[in-house]
Chain A
Amino acid sequence: MSTAVDDDLWSAIGDPTRRRMLDLLLAGGEGTATTLSADLPVTRQAVTKHLLVLDRVGLVRSAQAGREKRYVVDDAQLARAVAQLNAVGSLWDARLRRIKSLAEAIQQSKNTKR
């Protein structure tokens, strides 16, 4: 795998307002556009747009609750997002180990020839 990162997922999480919204949803267990906008310096309409982005990549799930939708964080998808970033570091570790063993093998064969 090349980057091990899902671009849509990362651009969804890339926005600081959306990250703050995920924080609020995790802390509160759930939330609506109204409750979230009360804790954020943005309008309810802006919050609704951000929720749609998060919904599209599966980071939140919604259920209709009266006139509003109630949102919760999707545990599995968030775990996947976090795991992807950890995996990026591990992939570089594997590549660096390979670089080391390749370079050392070349050096050894050069030393032998000398």
Chain B
Amino acid sequence: MEYGSIERELHVDASPEVVFEVLTSPEYIKDWWSAETDTEMEAGTSSRFTWTDANTGREDSAPFTVMESDPPRTFSFRWTYDEGVVPAPGNSLLVTFELLPTGEGTTVRFKETGYRELGWEVAKLEAEYNDHRQGWDFYLPRAAALAAQLASAR
């Protein structure tokens, strides 16, 4: 895995208009991200995502700012930044969705960038680490944690 960014591309059997709506309307964001937000996604809008733990009732929230909203082609926002700062390259992560009409459906290009600028480039560290500590004591807890997170993300 390259830690500078996360990039994915997938085909969706739905029009770009439908995909764009799913990406940007609070109603659907609640479904795919379990995140509550109260705002329409227009460029320059700042608001918060709020997640509520169903078991404990504990709330967790994070500010975000819409960078670009160009229906039905591009949607991007910055998040993972400190309270009160103006999000910009170097202090936040940038999430971008690009929608390309493909046949009857849509190709979705997803990207989350900014890890390297935030100092998250640990590929080298991980390589060193794996060289030195191969084995189940590393992979087993990791798989368990991942399974738990995926389960809770559903």
Contact = CB atoms under 8 A, between A and B. Distances in A.
Contacts of B122: 13, 19, 81-82, 85
Interface string A1-32: 11111000011011110010011001100000
B14 A87 contact: no
A88 B19 CA distance: 22
Interface residues of B, number: 52
B108 A92 contact: no
Contacts of B146: 83, 86-87, 90
Contacts, number: 133
A92 B80 CA distance: 14
Contact of B124 (A2, A11, A19): A19
B145 A103 contact: no
A27 B128 contact: yes
B104 to A, nearest CB: 9
B149 A79 contact: no
Interface stretch (A33-41, A61-69, A94-102): A94-102
Closest 4 CB pairs of A and B: A14-B119, A107-B14, A103-B14, A98-B32
Interface of B: 1, 3, 6, 8, 10, 12-15, 18-19, 21-23, 28, 31-33, 35, 49, 51, 60-62, 80, 106, 108, 110, 112, 115, 118-120, 122, 124-126, 128-129, 132-133, 137-138, 141-142, 145-146, 149-150, 152-154
8 contacts: A1-B152, A13-B120, A82-B122, A85-B122, A87-B149, A94-B153, A100-B108, A103-B21
